[in-house]
Chain A
Amino acid sequence: MKQSISQIKNSLKKKSISVEELHDEFFKKAKLNSNNAYNLITDKAQNKSLIDESQKRYDNSNSLPLDGIPLGIKDLFCTKGVRTTASSKILSNFIPNYESFVTQQLLNDGSIFIGKNNCDEFAMGSSNETSHFGPVINPWKNKNEPNNNLVPGGSSGGSAAAVAEGSCVASMGTDTGGSIRQPASLCGIVGLKPTFGSCSRWGIVAFASSLDQAGPLTNCVEDAAHILNSINKYDFNDSTSSNHKRDDYVKDLNKKFEKKIKIGIPSDYLKDVSQDILNQIENAKKVLSQHDIEFIDVEFTTTEYALSTYYILAPAEASSNLARYDGIRYGVREKGENLDDIYLNSRTKGFGDEVTRRILIGAYVLSAGYYDAYYRQAQKVRRLIKNDFERILKDVDFILTPTTPNEAFKIGDKLDPISMYKNDIYTVPTSLAGLPGVSIPSGLSSNGLPLGIQFIGNYFQEKKLLQLAALAEKELAFNE
């Protein structure tokens, strides 16, 4: 059984283990990199002073909230002095001179970074198969086909695999259309996407600016709460950061709800799902109903448009966000006879297929003659989707959905883009609305592979959302 952050901190406080021993344990596992979950593993020498300082604080009994906790960091967060690649060839040699806001908070709270987690290139993908550094392997195996390597999900596939394989206590990921929740579900761990605007995007390689959010992938809900405490802060330097009052998410996590809770289950989400998935929902309903929780059938009117909306808006923003990658000021510059050649060669050779595809889609939907029919229309439908959620959340406190439509599949199985995009069907709508969503492991499929359920909360209601997730986690007892 994996230890939680609280348990580890207790051990460190009681001196049953030292910060260095703790580090070495995880570092050893990470170094094996047996699932290719890391693009880079930080040399112990580089972390030595942090480890020593952490130990000093424990010795003096004034440890920081995440002191000495070994974390993985998705290779999308700019880490000062440490190579940050976005799992892309074009950034394969990039060393930022600045630290992202979120990772700075984690450092301020005493955590130690084990390394940079592999991910889909520029966060574009749902299986971690688009990385320049090779696919990540899900630590779980299909019990009926144990020799097959399965995908961990994406884009934060490396983060999820690292946590699941036990080479870090938790990992920092990003979620644009499901990139934290979906891999969490496929790897049997917890993944939280906070409300848009909660956690600063400053220093995170941008994919789709109106959708990207940083969030934790962890072994348990309480760990996610710990990390959220650290990273959920207002940042003036991110104009989309929201300056609302934040909570202590760990405090009262296991407290009972004060009044009756209503949870909506969207019938349109459950059309055509497999029995395995249905079982997850049914089971969750069963165990939670004992706790003064009422389940109500709800119905969205916009579900069938969510994926289209997302796959217009996200590539559009990405096509513009990725225009800065040209080999001129940083990154890999390819040879060329003239300036134009350098641009063309560096970009064409520097981006993989999926990124190229999305840049092309993005350029298309923004181009003259198509802007109104696609981009503008998608922005309008996005408003309808947001309104749809707000309508439903008037009558219920939370929404319960499956996280993914399927269990982990074989690497190389889904070559067709659209079938890959459909992995995001349950997570994309939440992202479009900007609402917080958390996935917790709910059970195993008939093939013995983990499946997750997603709780969606109202804007900035992470405290209540995590309370509910903690309750469900306890009742479902996945890890036992």
Chain B
Amino acid sequence: MSNNWEMVIGLEVHAQLKTSSKLFSSSPNQFGSEPNENVNFIDSGMPGMLPVLNFACIEKAIKTGFALNFTINKYSVFERKNYFYPDLPQGYQISQFEFPILTEGFINIDNGQDQKKIRIERAHLEQDAGKSIHDIDPKYSFIDLNRVGTPLLEIVSYPDLTSADEVVNYMSSLRQILMYIDVCDGNMQEGSLRADVNLSIRKPGGDLGTRCEIKNLNSFKFIRQAIEFEFQRQIGVLESGGQIEQNTMLFDTNTGETRAMRSKEFSHDYRYFPDPDLLPVNITQEQIDNIQPTLGELPNQKLDRYISELKIEKDISKIIISEKENTEVFEQMVNDTEVPPKLIASWLVGDIFAFVKENNLDVSSLMKKTKVIVELLKLVSDDVISNKVGKEILPKVLKGEGSPSEIVKKMGLEQVSDSSELEKIINESLQDEEDNIAKFQGGSDRVLGYFVGKCLKATKGKGNPKLINKLLLEKLQK
């Protein structure tokens, strides 16, 4: 296919932390505000301004440490990363270098039938930079510093990833976990989660090649495209006898191509040194212990529990755990009732989600409706109404047109489960059906379905199908 070349990929994921204020200043940590509205003098790098650490960022980092199996370092140091860019007012970014807060973690990703362990080298806290707007004017750029100082957690994997699929898998698992533990809102369109891809290629068993870094990818689609393009590009270079230059690349979302950033006169030298305006971070065991219980169940833990304890099928379980709000709705319903979780799960991922989608709602809006849904499901599982009828009145229930019992009563939709009544209907349906009766007795099961359908029609759909089926069978077998 690609002449046996292998990809070797490491991912640096930048996750914006879900805090109210910024990492070192008390400006709002908010997306979408008016230009420079969330900026104070510290953010704009005015003379004499000093940073003060927001402890919530440390807490989020510790939570992440638990969720991603990291070692949580009780001692970590903020260092200055020095470079010049108009969206970096101080002329340096406060980051962590020699002593990051988290080291040596991992997550397991699904790899078809198996799981693959992706090791994570480190994660550290750092400031985000502002934004430059280049495309309003041909001659000028416009600088908005709102994003300056927003807290980021940079998560750096080992180069354990070997395909675009694995990369997307890994990143979406990270995203899911971070959203679960309320560390990041996962909104990639708003830039809450971005990735830099480090890609090199080699022949199987060969030495590691020179890698190129593709910066600032903020959608899974772009990550895939960028990786595919860069893979082919590097193959092209090496197969035509050239050498890969270590470059920082940008991905052009319009053309689907990567290109090297303008080469600088001299290579970057960030001259990291500990920020003298800050003291080292010292976390106590007590602080760490206090955070652990706030973690909640992680996605893979929920998956295991749904499958083994609640007996939900794997595929359905996966759909539920794909977003935390799904699990919140699901679990609230499960806790509320004796209705079998399996029933709740299949209705949720089927008709209920379909309703949500059609009506452009958020899943979270279902939280207020779990009681009525459970009421409806109980009517179904108690055989008061049929499955089919239940699904028909679901939209009415969700739209708030009354309680399920009221609606059933009003519309006269109770199942007919009176055996004698049904017997009458069955007898009627069997009239003049000597041919079909003969077919059934000759071994055709389909005929049964025909008769059940005929009976249901006669009951205007209200007949209890299971009971009809049973009674019919008894009759026909005579």
Contacts and interface: CB of A to CB of B under 8 A. Distances in A.
Contact of A329 (B45, B48, B51): B45
A239 B86 contact: no
Contacts of B45: 324, 329
Interface string A325-356: 01011100000000100010000000000000
B276 interface: yes
Interface residues of B, number: 29
Given A98-B41, A366-B273, A237 B48 contact: no
Interface in B44-101: 44-53, 80, 82, 84, 86, 89-92
A94 B44 CA distance: 14
Nearest to B270: A368
Contacts of A317: 276
B51 to A, nearest CB: 7
Contact of A202 (B48, B89, B269): B48
B444 interface: no
Interface residues of A, number: 43
A366 B84 contact: no
A371 B273 contact: yes
Given A323-B92, A339-B141, A375 B48 contact: no
A320 B47 contact: no
A116 interface: no
Interface string B29-51: 00000000000010011111111
Smallest CB-CB A-B distances: 8 pairs: A323-B91, A366-B271, A209-B276, A210-B276, A324-B45, A203-B48, A205-B47, A324-B91
Contacts of B208: none
B279 interface: yes
B273 A320 contact: yes
B277 interface: yes
A22 to B, nearest CB: 30
A238 interface: yes
Interface of A: 77-78, 84, 86, 91, 94, 96-98, 100, 201-206, 208-210, 236-240, 316-317, 319-320, 322-324, 326, 328-330, 339, 343, 363, 366-368, 371, 375
A448 to B, nearest CB: 39
B354 interface: no
Contacts, number: 93
B237 interface: no
A403 to B, nearest CB: 26
Q: Summarize B's interface: helix, strand, loop or mixed.
A: loop
Contacts of B271: 320, 363, 366-368, 371
A240 B91 contact: no
Contacts of A239: 50-53, 277-279
Nearest to A339: B86
Interface string B264-306: 0000010111001111000000000000000000000000000
Contact of A326 (B82, B91, B276, B277): B91
A171 to B, nearest CB: 18
Nearest to B42: A237
A103 to B, nearest CB: 11
6 contacts: A206-B48, A206-B277, A239-B52, A323-B90, A328-B89, A371-B273
B279 A323 contact: no
A328 B143 CA distance: 10
A323 B82 contact: yes
B50 A237 contact: yes
A328 B86 contact: yes
Contacts of B52: 236-237, 239
